[in-house]
Amino acid sequence: MEAEGMDSEGRGFRNVREMWREVIGCDGVEKEQKEGSSTVQNSNKRQEWYSKGIAYWQGVDASVDGVLGGYGNVNDADVKGSEAFLQPLLAVRFGGGNPHLVALDCGSGIGRITKNLLIRYFNEVDLVEPVSHFLDAARKNLAPENIVQGSHKAANFYGVPLQDFSPECERYDVIWVQWCIGQLPDDDFVAFFKKAKSGLKPNGFFVLKENIAKSGFVLDKEDQSITRSDGYFRQLFQRCGLQIYKTQDQKGFPRELFAVKMYALVPILTETTTRVQRKFQTWAPTIIKS
């Protein structure tokens, strides 16, 4: 990614590699494999990046307004936009009948997305969230007495950072990643999605919903995150072995906020995976144009 970028204090970077070398000690293309003092230093800088990010969120109130950065008023528009995106995907990817659907909510926070959306469409939802008081709030918000979705339930709560999480093989129909992937440097972004692909069922898919920079990238020095452009994301998807199945822009947010885009992503199929998937399908899904 050679486009220029900037940080939240207005400092410019010639390209993203320059930025990553400064904040995590390597260019973000792949983790340093060589032993030596430089490797230890790079590891320490990466850990500092993650520690500062967690520390920021530990100081945020476990409420809708807190996790949405003071913009709790966008919750309804966010859920409606996500539902309009998800519904046709489920119909096309899984067809009719009454399949037992399972989702993973990544960076789940207080369970806002699970409670307002995912638990209405999925029989089971697992949540992964590294901030302990957010996960405690999610357990409370998603307790059986606080949800009204019959047999649908929040099944598992994982207090693990996203970069360290390894999903159960072929458990999930949908892995939902929203407003959290900016915490991961590029190499950890790619490593996460490569691992997470093993957690998808044969016809499963990812939904990534994120802020979009107009060009290049914007580094937020307060919460230790990066907002990537659409072009930047597309380059990373290629490195992950993922292709875009559908995209859609979020509507109805205040103008002062970053634009938000939703991506449905599926693994790029090899001849072997295509044969495996055909065993599980009696119909041929088509690409939905954005």
Per-domain residue ranges for the chain? 57-278
Q: What percent of the chain has pLDDT over 90?
A: 81
pLDDT of residue 2: 73
Higher pLDDT, 43 or 227: 227
Read off the pLDDT of each residue in 182-205 and give the average, rounded to a whole number. 97
d(CA 242, CA 224) in angstroms, rounded, equals 26
Q: Report DSSP letters for 1-21, one per residue.
A: ----EEETTS-EESSHHHHHH
- What homologous superfamily is domain 57-278 in, according to CATH? Vaccinia Virus protein VP39 (3.40.50.150)
Read off the pLDDT of each residue in 151-177 and give the average, rounded to a whole number. 96
Higher pLDDT, 287 or 13: 13
d(CA 135, CA 47) in angstroms, rounded, equals 21
Q: Report residue 263's pLDDT band, with 50, 70 and 90 as the boundaries.
A: very high
Q: Report residue 77's pLDDT band, with 50, 70 and 90 as the boundaries.
A: very high
d(CA 15, CA 24) in angstroms, rounded, equals 15
According to DSSP, the β-strands at 242-249 and 5-7 are: unpaired
Q: How many CA atoms lie within 13 A of 134 on its CB side?
A: 29
pTM above 0.85, yes or no: yes
